[in-house]
C-alpha cells in the first residue's frame, strides 16, 4: 500500500537557466528598451529634485554660479604651506630620540658663603648642568667678581689673565660640571656686593648663541679689626684735649696694610699726635709687622691726637675715626668710631684774624699777611701775668722760611724765635709778655687788648717752590697763658688759620697806539707771568667796546683765542702753563672804525681764571682794562 507521507531529496535544486539572449535584436525591440531607460532616468531625476510635497523646482529660476579656479588654488596653496610649516616645526621640536631643546633645562648656580669677613679667604663653586638630550656647543663661562674680591686660584684653569673667563667647549647631554674659585673677599662693613656668572652656549640644533645668567649677593658682615675712641665728653674752648684711638685685631685675615684717618671739625686743630700723622693726616699700620709702643698686646694699636677747640657757634663737636684697607686702588672702610664733645665757652674772647679773615684762605708769593690778635676778658675777675704767643709754620728751603721775617712790622717788638720742624717746614714764634705789653700784667674785667703784625711772604726772586716736596700751606695759631683770681694757670688757644700759598700768576695789559681819528689802531698785548706752580685750564675773557675791527694772531702763540662778533667778547683759553714756561703773551689788533668822543674804555677788565696743579685750588681775579686817552 502506497504511503501518504511526502518524500524529500537531498540533492540541491538548481535555478533553471534563462534562455540565451539573441545578439541580434530587432530595431523595434531596441527602440523599446531605449524608451524604458529614458523613463527610468526620469524617475531617478524626479526623486532627486522633487520636494517633500512632490513638487519640482522651476529650472528657469535657478542661477548658475561660475567657479573661481584661481581663488580656490590660492587657498589650497596656503593650506598646503601651513601643513608643511607645521611639519617643519614638528620636526624641530619633536625630533626622533626626543631631541627637544628647552632653556629651562640649562642650570647655572653660584654656591658659597653669603656673609663674609673682610680680608678673609672665601671659596665659591659655579655649577653648570645640561639636563636634556641636546648637546651644547662652544660653551664659555664668564664671571664678574665683587669689587673687593681678589682671585687666588681655581680648580679649572681660566682662559684670560684676569681669571674671569673659562672655555668649556662642548657640554654633552645630561652632563653636569663645576668650577671652584678661591679668593680674598675685601669690602666695607655691611657692604653688599654681587657675584655674576654668564654661561654662553649654542645648542646643537640651533644656529645662534644663547646665554644663561646667575647671581649671588654677598655681604661683608664683620670686620677683622675693631676701632674705638676715648676722650673727654666736655672741654673748654681753648683748652687742650686728648683723644685716643684703639685698634684691636678680632679675627685672622690676609690684610697687611691699614690706614686710620681721624676727622675733626674746622674749629679743632691738632697740636700734637703720637705717633706722628703723615702728610695726608693719617696713620699707616702694617698689622703683620708693626706693634704699638703704647700697648703690650701685639694685637692692639694705640694712636693719640691732642688739640684744642676754638670759638664756635656749635655747642658740640664730633671727633671721628675711620679704619680702612686699600685693595686694587679701592678703599674699604673696616670700622668707624665717633665721640661727641660738649664745648664750654671760656672766660676770654681770644681771636686771630689774618687779612681780615678768621678762617682759612688763599694767598700768593709777594703778598703781606696782616695779622691781628684780639682778646677781651669776659670773666668776673682780673687775669694776671698774661703772655701771648703767635706761631706760624711755613714752607722752608735750605732752612729758610718762605715768610720774610727780616721785614716784620710789630710795634710791640715781640721776641722772635725760629725752629726747624722738618727739612721743608720751619716754625716761627713771636712772644709778647708783660715786658713787651704792659697791659698783660693785669687784664681787668671787660678790658680789651689788640696786637697787630705785618709779615710778608717772599716772592719768586727770594724763594723757590720748584721742589714738589715743599708744602704750599702756612699754618697760623695763637695762644694766651695767664693766672686767674685763684692763681691757677690757664692756657687758651685762638682759632687756627691755614693759608694756602698758590702760584704767583700775574696779568698785564700793554697797549701801543698808532694813528688817530677814524682808523686809530691799538695793538693790545695780554701778558701772563707765572713763577711757582704749574697751571692748567687757564681762561682769560674781556669785552671790547665801540665800532671796531678785531684781528687775532694766526697761529695763536699758545692755546686758542676766539672773538664773538655779536657780543664783542674775546676769550683766550690755555690748556696748561708748565713750570718751564714763565711768560705767555697774546697780541690783539683793534682798529677803531669810528671815533666816539664819549667812549673811555676800549677793553674791559680781564677776568682771569686758572687752576694751580700743586694746591688744586682755582685762581680767580680781575686784570686791568685798556682805556682811551681822549
pLDDT in tens, 296-336: 567 899 999 998 888 777 788 899 999 999 877 778 899 99
Q: Which CATH architecture has domain 103-222?
A: Sandwich (2.60)
Task: Provide the grid cell at 299.
Answer: 694685637
Torsion-angle region of residue 37: left (phi > 0), alpha (psi -120 to 50) or beta? alpha
Where are the domains positioned within the chain? 103-222, 225-344, 348-501, 506-627
pLDDT greater at residue 12 or residue 310: 310
CATH, range 348-501 = 2.60.40.740
Q: Please state the φ and ψ torsions of residue 560, each to the nearest 5 degrees.
A: -140, 135
Is pLDDT above 70 for 28? no
- Closest CA relative to residue 538, chosen from 607, 586, 609, 615: 609
In angstroms, what CA-CA distances link 156 with 139, 166, 182, 196, 406? 15, 8, 11, 18, 73
Q: How far apart are the first and last CA of the chain?
A: 187
Is pLDDT above 90 for 108? yes
Per-residue pLDDT tens digits for 89-98: 454 444 444 4
Is pLDDT above 60 for 56? no
| 225-344: CATH class | mainly beta
Using a cut of 0.85, tell me whether the model's pTM lies above it.
no
Averaged over 586-594, what is the pLDDT? Answer: 93
CB of 383 within 8 A of CB of 483?
yes
Instruction: For cell 614638528, name the residue.
Output: 90
pLDDT tier at 60, thresholds 50, 70, 90: low
pLDDT tier at 630, thresholds 50, 70, 90: low
Neighbours of 99 (CB within 10 A): 17
pLDDT greater at residue 291 or residue 257: 257
416/430 Cα distance (integer angstroms): 5
242/307 Cα distance (integer angstroms): 7
pLDDT tier at 280, thresholds 50, 70, 90: confident
Is pLDDT above 50 for 479? yes
Per-residue pLDDT tens digits for 512-562: 998 877 888 999 999 999 988 899 999 999 999 999 999 999 899 999 999
The CATH H-level (homologous superfamily) assignment of domain 506-627 is Mu homology domain, subdomain B (2.60.40.1170)
Residues with Cβ within 8 Å of 204's Cβ and at least 6 positions away in sequence, in order, are 134, 135, 136, 137
Q: What is the CA radius of gyration of the chain?
A: 51
Is pLDDT above 50 for 438? yes
Q: What is the mean pLDDT of the chain?
A: 84
pLDDT greater at residue 455 or residue 494: 455
Per-residue confidence (pLDDT) for residue 52, from 0 to 100: 56
Domains 103-222 and 348-501 share a fold: yes
Amino acid at each position: 500500500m502506497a504511503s501518504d507521507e511526502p518524500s524529500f531529496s537531498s540533492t540541491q535544486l538548481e535555478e533553471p537557466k534563462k534562455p540565451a539572449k539573441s545578439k541580434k535584436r530587432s530595431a523595434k525591440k531596441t527602440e523599446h528598451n531605449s524608451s524604458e531607460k529614458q523613463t527610468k532616468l526620469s524617475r531617478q531625476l524626479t526623486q532627486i529634485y522633487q520636494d517633500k510635497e512632490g513638487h519640482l523646482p522651476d529650472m528657469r529660476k535657478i542661477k548658475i554660479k561660475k567657479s573661481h579656479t584661481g581663488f580656490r588654488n590660492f587657498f589650497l596653496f596656503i593650506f598646503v604651506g601651513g601643513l608643511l610649516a607645521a611639519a617643519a616645526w614638528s620636526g624641530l621640536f619633536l625630533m626622533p630620540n626626543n631631541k627637544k631643546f628647552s632653556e629651562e633645562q640649562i642650570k647655572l648656580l653660584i654656591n658659597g658663603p653669603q656673609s663674609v669677613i673682610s680680608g678673609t679667604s672665601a671659596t665659591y663653586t659655579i655649577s653648570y648642568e645640561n639636563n636634556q638630550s641636546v648637546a651644547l656647543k662652544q660653551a664659555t663661562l664668564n664671571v664678574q667678581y665683587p669689587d673687593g674680591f681678589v682671585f687666588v686660584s681655581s680648580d679649572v684653569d681660566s682662559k684670560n689673565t684676569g681669571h674671569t673667563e673659562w672655555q668649556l667647549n662642548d657640554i654633552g647631554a645630561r652632563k653636569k660640571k663645576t668650577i671652584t674659585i678661591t679668593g680674598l673677599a675685601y669690602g666695607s662693613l655691611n657692604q653688599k656686593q654681587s657675584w655674576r656668572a654668564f654661561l654662553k652656549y649654542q645648542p646643537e640644533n640651533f644656529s645662534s648663541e644663547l646665554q644663561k645668567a646667575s647671581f649671588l649677593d654677598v655681604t661683608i658682615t664683620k670686620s677683622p679689626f675693631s676701632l674705638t675712641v676715648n676722650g673727654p665728653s666736655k672741654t673748654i674752648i681753648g683748652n687742650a684735649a686728648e683723644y685716643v684711638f684703639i685698634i684691636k685685631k678680632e679675627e685672622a685675615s690676609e690684610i697687611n696694610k691699614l690706614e686710620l684717618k681721624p676727622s675733626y671739625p674746622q674749629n679743632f686743630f691738632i697740636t700734637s699726635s703720637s705717633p706722628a700723622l703723615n702728610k695726608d693726616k693719617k696713620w699707616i699700620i702694617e698689622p703683620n709687622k708693626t706693634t704699638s709702643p703704647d700697648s703690650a698686646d701685639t694685637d692692639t694699636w694705640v694712636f693719640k691726637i691732642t688739640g684744642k677747640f676754638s670759638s664756635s657757634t656749635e655747642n658740640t663737636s664730633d671727633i671721628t675715626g675711620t679704619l680702612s684697607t686699600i685693595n686694587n686702588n679701592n678703599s674699604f672702610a673696616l670700622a668707624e668710631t665717633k665721640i661727641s664733645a660738649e664745648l664750654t665757652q671760656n672766660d676770654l674772647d681770644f681771636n686771630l684774624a689774618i687779612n681780615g679773615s678768621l678762617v682759612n684762605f688763599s694767598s700768593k708769593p709777594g703778598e703781606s699777611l696782616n695779622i691781628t690778635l684780639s682778646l677781651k676778658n669776659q670773666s668776673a675777675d682780673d687775669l694776671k701775668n698774661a703772655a701771648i704767643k703767635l706761631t706760624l709754620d711755613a714752607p722752608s728751603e735750605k732752612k729758610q722760611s718762605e715768610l720774610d721775617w727780616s721785614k716784620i712790622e710789630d710795634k710791640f717788638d715781640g721776641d722772635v724765635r725760629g725752629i726747624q720742624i722738618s727739612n721743608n717746614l720751619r716754625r716761627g714764634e713771636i712772644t709778647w709778655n708783660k715786658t713787651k705789653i704792659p697791659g698783660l700784667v693785669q687784664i681787668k674785667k671787660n678790658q680789651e687788648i689788640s696786637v697787630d703784625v705785618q709779615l710778608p711772604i717772599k716772592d719768586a726772586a727770594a724763594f723757590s717752590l720748584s721742589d714738589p716736596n715743599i708744602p704750599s700751606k702756612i699754618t697760623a695759631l695763637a695762644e694766651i697763658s695767664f693766672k686767674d683770681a685763684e692763681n691757677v694757670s690757664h692756657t687758651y688757644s685762638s682759632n687756627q688759620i691755614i693759608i694756602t700759598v698758590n702760584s704767583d700768576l700775574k696779568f698785564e695789559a700793554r697797549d701801543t697806539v698808532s694813528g688817530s681819528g677814524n682808523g686809530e689802531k691799538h695793538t693790545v698785548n695780554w701778558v701772563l707771568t707765572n713763577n711757582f706752580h704749574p697751571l692748567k685750564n687757564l681762561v682769560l675773557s674781556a669785552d671790547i667796546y665801540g665800532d671796531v675791527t678785531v684781528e687775532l694772531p694766526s697761529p695763536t702763540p699758545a692755546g686758542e683765542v676766539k672773538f664773538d662778533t655779536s657780543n664783542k667778547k674775546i676769550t683766550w683759553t690755555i690748556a696748561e702753563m708748565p713750570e718751564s714756561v714763565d711768560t705767555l703773551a697774546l697780541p690783539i689788533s683793534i682798529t677803531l672804525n669810528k671815533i666816539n668822543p664819549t667812549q673811555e674804555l676800549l677793553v674791559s677788565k680781564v677776568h682771569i681764571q686758572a687752576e694751580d696743579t700743586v694746591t688744586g685750588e682755582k685762581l680767580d681775579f680781575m686784570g686791568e682794562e685798556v682805556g682811551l686817552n681822549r
